[in-house]
C-alpha cells in the first residue's frame, strides 16, 4: 500500500497524521507539506516525506506515483486559487496512476442552491473528481465546533454579553475537527468504499441558541444570541477588522476566518442546507461523534488554533 497524506503541517492534517499511525503501517505512508522543515519530526520517525507544491503538477505527480490513496484536504484559501490548487492535485493523481482520492468536502456540496461562497470550490472539486478516472471518497464534513467554541471564549474574554450571527434558527450537526480528522484517517484505511459520498455529521442537530445554552451551562457564563441579517453581520465584521476574503490582512483581526466565508455559511445554516439528518460517521469510524457537552467540558482541547488562510 501507498497512502499519501498531504498537509500534515496544518491543524487538520496533523491530526490525520497522528490518527493514521495507529491504523496502518508506517511503511505505507508518505507525508507531505509545502515546506520540508515542517516534516522533520516525521522524517526522524522513519516516515517517507515529500515537499508538495500544489502549483506544480509534475512535482505532485512524482509524489503521487502509483499511490493507492491520496488525501486532499481542502485548501485554507477560497476562490480561484483554491480551485486551481485542487485541480492540480486531481490532475496529478490521474497522471500518476493513483487509485483513489479522499477529499474533505462539506455538507450539501452538490446542492445547486447552496449559498456558501466556499461551496463553489467544493462542488467544483467534487465535479472534476467525479468526471475523472479516479476512485474517490468524499467526506462531506459539517461545521467544525472549534470555530464556535473559540468564538464563544473570545466573547467571554472580551466581556461581551451577546454574540451576533446570521444563522437564524437553522440547525447544524456541529462536529469536532478531531472527529473529522479521525474519519479521514479511517477512510484512508478503508479498502471497501469506492466512489463513495459520506456525510460526516455530529451527534445532534442544534440551533445556535441551543449551542449557547450548552456553552453557558458548562461554563457558567450567560452569553445571549443576537440574530442579524447578512448585511448587518458584514458591517459588524468590517467594524472589527475581519477581512472579507483570504487576500485581506489578518494581523489585526480578532477572528482568523473571512467574513465572506462566515456570513455565507450563516446563510447556509439559516436556509437549512446544513441540517442534513444523515450521518456516516459511526459506520465509517466504529464510534459515535463527540457531543457538544463533552467538547465544552474539555473546551481547551477544542479550540480553532492558528489558522493559515493563505498559501504560506
Q: φ, ψ for residue 224 (rounded to 5)?
A: -105, 170
**Is 265 buried (19+), middle (13-18) or exposed (0-12) by CB count in 10 A?**
buried
Q: How confident is the model at residue 219 (pLDDT cuts 50, 70, 90)?
A: very high
Mean pLDDT across the chain, nearest whole number?
A: 94
Q: What is the pLDDT of residue 68?
A: 98
The contacts of residue 243 (CB under 8 Å, 6+ apart) are 249, 250, 253, 258, 259
Rounded Cα gap, residues 177 and 198, in angstroms: 16
Query: Does 310 have pLDDT greater than 60?
Result: no
User: Per-residue confidence at 43, pLDDT binned at 50, 70, 90?
Assistant: very high
- Residue 69: per-residue pLDDT: 98
Question: Residue 33 forms beta bridges with which residues?
Answer: 51
Tell me what the mean pLDDT of segment 8-35 comes to.
97
Q: In what helix (H) or strand (E) does residue 12 lie, and over which residues does it extend?
A: helix 11-20
| pTM of structure | 0.93
Q: With cut-offs at 50, 70 and 90, classify the pLDDT of residue 262.
A: confident
Q: Report pLDDT for 87.
A: 98
The predicted-structure confidence for 114-134, as pLDDT tens digits, reads as follows: 999 889 999 999 999 999 999
Position 306 confidence tier, pLDDT thresholds 50, 70, 90: low
pLDDT tens by residue, 233-257: 999 889 889 998 877 888 888 877 7
pLDDT in tens, 157-179: 999 999 989 999 999 999 999 99
**Is the pLDDT at 49 greater than 60, yes or no?**
yes
Return the percentage of the chain with pLDDT > 70, whole number: 98
Query: What pLDDT shows up at residue 158?
Result: 94
Q: Which residues, listed in sequence order, are joined to residue 206 by a DSSP beta bridge? A: 172
Q: Please tell me the predicted confidence (pLDDT) of residue 50.
A: 98
Q: State pLDDT tens for residues 130-141.
A: 999 999 999 999
* Packed helices 177-188 and 11-20: angle between N→C axes, nearest 10 degrees: 50
Amino acid at each position: 500500500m501507498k497512502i499519501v497524506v498531504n498537509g500534515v503541517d496544518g491543524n487538520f492534517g496533523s491530526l490525520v497524521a497522528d490518527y493514521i499511525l495507529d491504523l496502518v503501517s508506517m511503511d505505507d505512508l508518505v507525508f507531505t507539506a509545502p515546506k520540508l522543515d515542517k516534516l522533520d519530526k516525521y522524517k526522524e520517525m522513519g516516515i517517507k516525506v515529500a515537499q508538495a507544491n500544489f502549483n506544480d503538477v509534475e512535482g505532485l505527480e512524482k509524489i503521487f506515483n502509483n499511490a493507492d490513496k491520496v488525501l486532499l484536504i481542502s485548501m485554507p484559501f477560497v476562490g480561484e486559487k483554491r480551485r486551481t490548487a485542487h485541480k492540480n492535485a486531481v490532475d496529478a493523481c490521474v497522471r500518476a496512476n493513483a487509485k483513489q482520492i479522499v477529499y474533505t468536502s462539506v455538507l450539501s456540496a452538490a446542492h445547486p442552491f447552496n449559498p456558501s461562497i466556499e461551496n463553489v470550490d467544493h462542488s467544483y472539486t467534487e465535479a472534476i473528481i467525479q468526471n475523472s478516472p479516479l476512485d474517490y471518497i468524499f467526506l462531506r464534513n459539517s461545521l467544525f465546533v472549534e470555530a464556535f467554541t473559540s468564538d464563544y471564549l473570545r466573547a467571554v474574554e472580551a466581556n461581551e454579553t451577546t454574540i451576533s450571527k446570521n444563522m437564524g434558527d437553522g440547525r447544524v450537526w456541529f462536529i469536532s475537527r478531531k472527529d473529522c480528522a479521525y474519519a479521514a484517517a479511517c477512510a484512508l484505511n478503508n479498502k471497501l468504499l469506492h466512489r463513495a459520498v459520506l456525510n460526516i455529521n455530529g451527534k445532534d442537530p442544534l440551533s445556535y441558541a441551543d449551542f449557547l445554552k450548552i456553552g453557558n451551562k458548562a461554563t457558567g457564563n450567560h452569553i445571549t444570541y443576537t440574530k442579524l441579517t447578512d448585511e448587518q453581520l458584514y458591517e459588524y465584521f468590517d467594524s472589527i477588522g475581519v477581512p472579507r476574503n483570504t487576500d485581506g490582512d489578518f494581523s489585526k483581526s480578532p477572528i482568523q476566518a473571512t467574513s465572506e466565508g462566515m456570513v455565507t455559511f450563516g446563510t447556509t445554516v439559516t436556509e437549512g442546507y446544513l441540517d442534513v439528518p444523515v450521518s456516516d460517521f459511526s459506520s465509517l469510524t466504529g464510534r459515535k461523534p463527540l457531543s457538544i457537552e463533552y467538547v465544552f467540558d474539555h473546551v481547551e482541547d477544542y479550540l480553532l488554533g492558528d489558522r493559515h488562510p493563505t498559501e504560506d
